[in-house]
Chains A and B, each alone.
Chain A
Amino acid sequence: MMRDLDHILKTVWPEVRRRHLFPELPTPEYGEGDQRVGLDIKGKKISISKQFVEGISEVMEPQKALEGLLDHAVSHYLYCPWDFSTHLKLYREAKKVLKDTQMAKRATDCFIDVVADTSCVSQKDTPLPELYKHLQRGSMEEAMHALYQKIWGMDLGVEGHHEISRKLSRLPYLDRSRWKESIRRFARAIHYLLEEEEREGNLDKPSSMGNHSLDQYSLQEIEKGLQELASDVNSPTEFKEILQDFKDEILKGDMNSEQAMGLGPGRSSDANILYYMKLAENYLLPIRRTPMEKSGSLYPHHHVPWEVGSPYHDIDPWTSFGKIMPGITQTWQRHEGSVFSHEEGTPNCIVIIDSSGSMTDPTRHLSHAVLGAACACDAYLRNDAQVAVYNFSDAYIGAQRILTYSRNRREIYRTLCHYFGGGTQLQMESIEALQTDRVPDIFLITDMQITNLEIMIEYFNSVKNRVTAVHIGNNKQVQTFRSSMALRDNVGIYAVGKKEDIPRIVLGKIKEYLYTLTP
């Protein structure tokens, strides 16, 4: 029997792949499982419970059972949820209605199953309905199968559940643009069934077709999903809440990976760091590289015909056939050569961030200052540069945090996200200590309500660094700063009032360099 099943799987899989237009999925294998749960998907790898197939073979052909299971699994990959990002979006809507993590997870699982299976049944010649006819059913499964019976128009041998199947049958499962609205109505309708399952302790038990844990997604998909979630949610608190719901799975994935996302066991505050990290990835700020310098030397560049009266020393005898004759003789035209200076590429950057009381607390609400600084750090790190962070509030009484040049994202974002919430005073000596021989860029983000603003202006007037100053909001101090820096070519000033202003920042954009680049 076991050899037979191996053989059947080998013959069935190419047929299922062909039916679904050859999806790029690894060949499924038999895995450990029980007689009740047929499927498990981990990192795109479909694993089928042999015990389940053996059990169901008593009532239907094993080939059909395998086909049905594989159709179900492939439909998840190809249609719903498609990716982790969609999965999270659906979960978020279900959670809004149900307000309970386990219930929302279960409702999302059910919805995803209905959509994937219905799409498969409506478009493919699949034995899924036959498989559903023979599956073991709890109360939730029975309601779902009653729904299938109604919307697929096939007899699956379910009786009762007329009201719930009637309510659920009117949702447009195959309209992707309405999934968010549909899952809310779906969750609302099955709320009583979820409560029933909770009472019976069945809420976290997988259905016959398996659960939809995060294991099925690759780490890259999870990272992308979190990135999209960060830009979708209204506040870091909401992000943290959803992240908390999937904490175990994310931690498991994070620890298995060499390029950890930024979460560590027992560090729930890291959710804030991850939020800004992922949000910053949505804004790829451009850095103007330090331009090439002219060397001052002249090099032969191209030929021009020699004319009578022109000097002889640049004549090229090889292309002139050994003759001195206008029209035949060629002479070299020389151009000034360009070479890379010592500072070719992207310099390191000192990020100065204001976390005084007048700034938004980044752990509670979306802080444009932290987001802007995070985007800047992300841009420098992507360009192989190092970042030093100076986070200040009342620096003279110790409310400042300094991170020396580093490429450790986690530490950089941790320093950025620290919130002092006190007065606003800079200690220029601390910034000066971060200056190096290789002149770094400076990125400053503040609302400019700085007690010793004059000292800071004086300092920026004296340095040669490329300075990108970003002010949050507008006030008298901003005007003072702008007018004091008006004549400085190495200072670029930007205003940020909303998220959409951030992509307008060009790091290290300096008038002086633009002028020298203009021919």
Chain B
Amino acid sequence: MRNPFMDFRSVHYQKKEIPLERIVKAKQEVMDRILESYFSIVEEEAKDLVWLVEHSRVVKTYDAAKESIRDLEYDQDDIEEFCAQLDSSQKVPYMISGPAGIYISALVNHIAQDSIVLGLKDYERTFHFLGFRLPEGKTLTLQGDVGDFIGAGLSGGRLVVEGSTRNWCGAGMMKGEIFVSSHTGQRTGEWMRGGEIHVDGNIWSTGKSIFGGKIYNRGKIVIPKESD
């Protein structure tokens, strides 16, 4: 009787190395390090149970994030993937939106590239604090609607939002430019000291305390007011 499995002996299996495996492995290593560094920040922040938006707190978190990514090498795609991980991956068990946004800003500010585009259109979560302290010489483009404190403390960079921002857009910015193609929320430009905010859609309200800089709505200047 003929062995029915004889045919299988004629098949020689040889797995081929294709570049995909190498690329995925290298990217995975980088992502693991980014996530590890993010978790250490969040762990520290979570100790106080409540994360309050205070100037000193924001600065402290940003400094810690900057320190933790100092030796990391990554690119724009890694930042985008990190956003995707925050949005829906099981690898990130919880997300505190404040520190998450500040951490992304630290990643953007530390990257070697001058121009960064982050596609945030199809995410379920909203990211806050993006563009925090964006330095001079860098352009950050955010595609999609974003959250609160976008471009806060902007430090000379150019921030382009292809969508709407929520409240406190450009809060405390020092210099640089923010372009919003759609709307901004309440207290746009609160505590700003310099730079320009250009909004193509509606501005819900401008900040109550503005110490410098200019806000334009559909090309017309709204801050400082002509009477000022």
CB pair A150–B19 under 8 Å, yes or no, is yes
Contacts of A183-224 to chain B: CB distance below 8 A: 184-185, 187-189, 191
Bound-complex Cα distance A125 to B84 (A):
35
A30 on the interface (CB 8 Å rule)?
no
Bound-complex Cα distance A81 to B44 (A):
43
Partner of B11 from A19, A122, A151 at Cβ < 8 Å:
A19
B2 on the interface (CB 8 Å rule)?
no
CB pair A118–B18 under 8 Å, yes or no, is yes
CB pair B122–A191 under 8 Å, yes or no, is yes
CB pair A18–B18 under 8 Å, yes or no, is no
Interface string of B95-131 (1 = CB under 8 A from A): 0000000000000000000000001011000000000
Residue of A nearest to B89 (CB): A181
B15 on the interface (CB 8 Å rule)?
yes
Partner of B7 from A22, A151, A173 at Cβ < 8 Å:
A22
A residues in contact with B122, CB < 8 Å: 97-98, 187-188, 191
Bound-complex Cα distance A153 to B18 (A):
6
B residues in contact with A98, CB < 8 Å: 122
Binds B, one of A84-92, A163-171, A465-473: A163-171
Contacts of A16-72 to chain B: CB distance below 8 A: 18-19, 21-22
Binds A, one of B20-28, B133-141, B198-206, B212-220: B20-28
Residue of B nearest to A152 (CB): B18
A297 on the interface (CB 8 Å rule)?
no
A123 on the interface (CB 8 Å rule)?
yes
Partner of A188 from B19, B24, B84 at Cβ < 8 Å:
B84
CB pair B20–A118 under 8 Å, yes or no, is yes
A503 on the interface (CB 8 Å rule)?
no
Bound-complex Cα distance A152 to B19 (A):
6
Bound-complex Cα distance A123 to B10 (A):
16
A residues in contact with B88, CB < 8 Å: 181, 184
CB pair A151–B19 under 8 Å, yes or no, is yes
B32 on the interface (CB 8 Å rule)?
no
Contacts of B1-45 to chain A: CB distance below 8 A: 7-8, 10-11, 13-16, 18-21, 23-24, 27-28
A122-B18, A181-B88, A184-B84 as given contacts; A167 in contact with B11, CB under 8 Å: no
CB pair A151–B18 under 8 Å, yes or no, is yes
B63 on the interface (CB 8 Å rule)?
no
CB pair A123–B15 under 8 Å, yes or no, is yes
B residues in contact with A22, CB < 8 Å: 7-8
B interface majority secondary structure? helix
CB pair A170–B77 under 8 Å, yes or no, is yes
Residue of B nearest to A19 (CB): B11
CB pair B20–A151 under 8 Å, yes or no, is yes
CB pair A185–B15 under 8 Å, yes or no, is no
B73 on the interface (CB 8 Å rule)?
no
CB pair B16–A171 under 8 Å, yes or no, is no
Q: Shortest beta-carbon distance, A115 to chain B, in Å?
A: 11
A188-B84, A188-B119 as given contacts; A21 in contact with B8, CB under 8 Å: yes
A357 on the interface (CB 8 Å rule)?
no
CB pair B11–A174 under 8 Å, yes or no, is no
Bound-complex Cα distance A153 to B17 (A):
10
A residues in contact with B16, CB < 8 Å: 121-123
A residues in contact with B67, CB < 8 Å: none
Bound-complex Cα distance A166 to B121 (A):
19
Bound-complex Cα distance A21 to B18 (A):
22
Bound-complex Cα distance A175 to B10 (A):
28
Bound-complex Cα distance A172 to B24 (A):
6
Q: Shortest beta-carbon distance, B11 to chain A, in Å?
A: 6
B residues in contact with A121, CB < 8 Å: 16, 18
Which of B7, B8, B19, B122 has the most CB atoms of chain A within a 10 A radius of its CB? Answer: B122
CB pair B15–A122 under 8 Å, yes or no, is yes
B residues in contact with A21, CB < 8 Å: 8, 11
Bound-complex Cα distance A226 to B18 (A):
36
Contacts of A388-415 to chain B: CB distance below 8 A: none
A18-B7, A21-B11, A188-B119 as given contacts; A171 in contact with B24, CB under 8 Å: yes
Bound-complex Cα distance A169 to B21 (A):
10
Bound-complex Cα distance A166 to B76 (A):
11
Residue of A nearest to B90 (CB): A181
Residue of B nearest to A166 (CB): B77
Bound-complex Cα distance A151 to B17 (A):
10
Q: Which residues of B contact A (CB under 8 A)?
A: 7-8, 10-11, 13-16, 18-21, 23-24, 27-28, 77, 80-81, 84, 88-89, 119, 121-122
Residue pairs across A and B with Cβ atoms less than 8 A apart, 11 shown, are A19-B11, A118-B18, A123-B16, A153-B18, A167-B77, A169-B19, A170-B81, A171-B24, A175-B24, A181-B89, A184-B88
